[in-house]
Amino acid sequence: MLALLPSWVDPTAHYIIHEGLTNTLKMAAAAITASVVIGIPFGTLLTVNFWPTRALIRAYVEIWRGLPLIVTILMVYFVGPDYIPGFEPRAIYAAAIGLSLWGSAQVAEATRGAVQSIPRQQHEAAAALGFGWVGRHTYVILPQALRRLLPPLVTLLVGIIQNTTLAAVIGGAELAGTGQRQIERLGAYPPIGLGQIKALEIYGAIMIAFFCISFPLTRLAAYLERRLV
């Protein structure tokens, strides 16, 4: 099948898949992991009636949810190095950090809702069995809350995968960024490129790739929503 395509397609696709897709998946994996690891404790702490922690976490959640993600990423990339010694992130790391700040805020808010949706009797029953606050949440409340959290987490994963493209704006070599580079290369005159703009084909192909990743995940989220809630 590849033989039917023009000869510029193979090296272009090879670069976009090996460099771009790999970086996109790495960023998405790092960001969703960080979002869950930070977001679930933060969200659980939001349900605790102690105003200083609540105010701090509330501020964290509202700031990173309120800022446009691209602004967060630009801030991490351009402002971060001025204030954190030794922090000179590559574009895809800066974008992954921005995605994690945004994602963890989303997870915290969803976790708060899920924890609060667990009936009060579950807390009381666990307390009656002698569990402290930590044991009660680790063994009784959070396992039940996680079931309700699963559909929004899959939806968030779709959001994170799609928003990895924002790294292209600061020069990251993920799917959109590698596509951009290949379009620029092909736009150059031979022998480097073709002297033709192939933006329609390359961006179109990358959009199809994103569709093939995102569509099944959105179906999965809808299925989990029906099954688990």
Partner 1 sequence: MPLAFDWSFFSEYWHPLLWGFIRTLEVSAIAIAMAFVIGALGGAARAYRIPVVSQVAAVYVEIIRCTPILLQIFFLFYGLPELGIVLTPFTVAWLSVGIWGGAYNIENFRAGFLAVPNGLREAAFALGFSRLAVFFNVGLPLGARISLPSSINTYIAVVKNTALVYAISYNELTTVALNINAVTLRNEPFLVLGVVYLTLVWSLSYVLRLVERRLMVPESA
φ, ψ (nearest 5 deg) of residue 24: -60, -45
Tell me: does residue 92 bind partner 1 (CB under 8 A). Answer: no
Tell me: does residue 200 bind partner 1 (CB under 8 A). Answer: yes
Tell me: does residue 211 bind partner 1 (CB under 8 A). Answer: yes
Query: Which tokens go with 113?
Result: 């809702």
**Run of H or E residues at 66:** helix 51-66
Encode 90-101: b = buried (16+ Cβ within 10 Å), e = exposed.
ebbbbbbbbbbb
Tell me: does residue 82 bind partner 1 (CB under 8 A). Answer: yes
What is the smallest separation between the CB atom of 174 and partner 1, expressed in angstroms? 10
Tell me: does residue 67 bind partner 1 (CB under 8 A). Answer: yes
Q: Which residue has the tokens 């990423």?
A: 73
| Angle subtended at Cα 106 by Cα 103 and Cα 112, rounded to the nearest 5 degrees | 135
Tell me: does residue 183 bind partner 1 (CB under 8 A). Answer: yes
**Gyration radius (Cα) of the chain, Å:** 22
Tell me: does residue 47 bind partner 1 (CB under 8 A). Answer: no
Size of the site for partner 1 (CB under 8 A): 38
Cα–Cα distance measured from residue 122 to residue 80, given in angstroms and rounded to the nearest whole number = 43
Q: Is the distance from CB of 88 to CB of 23 less than 8 angstroms?
A: no
Nearest to partner 1 of 30, 167 (CB atom)? 167
Nearest to partner 1 of 23, 44 (CB atom)? 23
Cα–Cα distance measured from residue 109 to residue 149, given in angstroms and rounded to the nearest whole number = 10
What is the smallest separation between the CB atom of 227 and partner 1, expressed in angstroms? 19
What is the smallest separation between the CB atom of 39 and partner 1, expressed in angstroms? 19
- Tell me which of 83, 120, 121, 190 binds partner 1, using CB under 8 A: 83
Tell me: does residue 166 bind partner 1 (CB under 8 A). Answer: yes
Q: Cis bond leading into 85, ω under 30°?
A: no
- Tell me which of 129, 215, 223, 227 binds partner 1, using CB under 8 A: 215
Nearest to partner 1 of 141, 159 (CB atom)? 159
Beta strand spans in the chain (E): none
- Tell me which of 5, 17, 37, 71 binds partner 1, using CB under 8 A: 71
What is the longest distance spanned by two Cα atoms in the chain? 77
Q: Which residues bind partner 1 (CB under 8 A)?
A: 62-63, 66-71, 74-75, 78-79, 82-83, 158, 162-166, 168-169, 176, 180, 183, 197-200, 203-204, 206-207, 210-211, 214-215, 218
